[in-house]
Amino acid sequence: MCSKDKNKENFHAMEKAEKELGKENKNLEENLEEKENSSQSSQETVSSLEELKKKASEYDALWDKYLRVCADFENSRKRWEREKQEIIKFSNFKLIRDLIPIIDELEQAIKIAKKDTSLDKICEGIEITYKKLLGILGSYGVKPIKAEGEKFDPHLHEIVGQKVVEDTQEHTIVEEIQKGYFLEDKVLRTSKVIVGVKKKEASDKTKEDSGR
């Protein structure tokens, strides 16, 4: 009987141990599964973050490109506007330039008429026409270039002669032979002028001309 009872107790103990072991195994499996799920979730989170970073980078690149396109468009628009204004401003350039010689002829006619008192009435009529023409051209932005008494400027003046002067007048325009004109800020025609030079420079210039 004792042996039988003892075997029974051993069986129950083994059964209990098996249950405990089964419980431990189950807990261990659950822990492992939780860790696997957690690891998978972490990987998914990392993957999602990387995808977000990639999308953000693509968005920044597109935004930067958009801003550059907008800036290019604005610059082009301003350039077109400037070019349009230039075309409008100088559309009559050739016509006005062709009218300038008429002003020259009127000026010459006035000079000749003033020498003969019998031509006073004619001179008066020419002067009226001359002033009207200058007024019309002035309304289109035409204005004379300053010459006599000014320092010579190769961008505005053309030397057609020299005159010996005092040192204080050297390289100063002493006489205007033909008027020059601006159209707005653009040179329509340069002035033809005589400039003052020192005696030595004038003689050197004469020698150069003789040697040619």
CATH of the domain at 200: 2.30.22.10
Question: Is pLDDT at 81 greater than 70 in this prediction?
Answer: yes
Q: pLDDT higher for 48 or 58?
A: 58
Residue ranges making up the domain that contains 173 = 143-212
Number of structural domains (the chain) is 1
Pairing of strands 191-197, 157-164: parallel
Gap between the Cα atoms of 49 and 38, Å rounded: 16
Q: For 3, how many CA atoms within 13 A lie in the half-sphere containing its CB?
A: 0
For 134-148, what is the mean pLDDT?
Answer: 90
Strand order in the sheet with 186-189: 142-144, 181-183, 186-189
**Is 148 domain-assigned?**
yes
**Is 169 domain-assigned?**
yes
Name the pTM for this structure: 0.53
Integer angstrom CA distances of residue 127 from 31, 135, 147, 167, 206: 113, 12, 21, 37, 39
H-helix or E-strand spanning residue 156: none
Q: What confidence score (pLDDT) does residue 126 get?
A: 86
Q: What confidence score (pLDDT) does residue 40 get?
A: 61
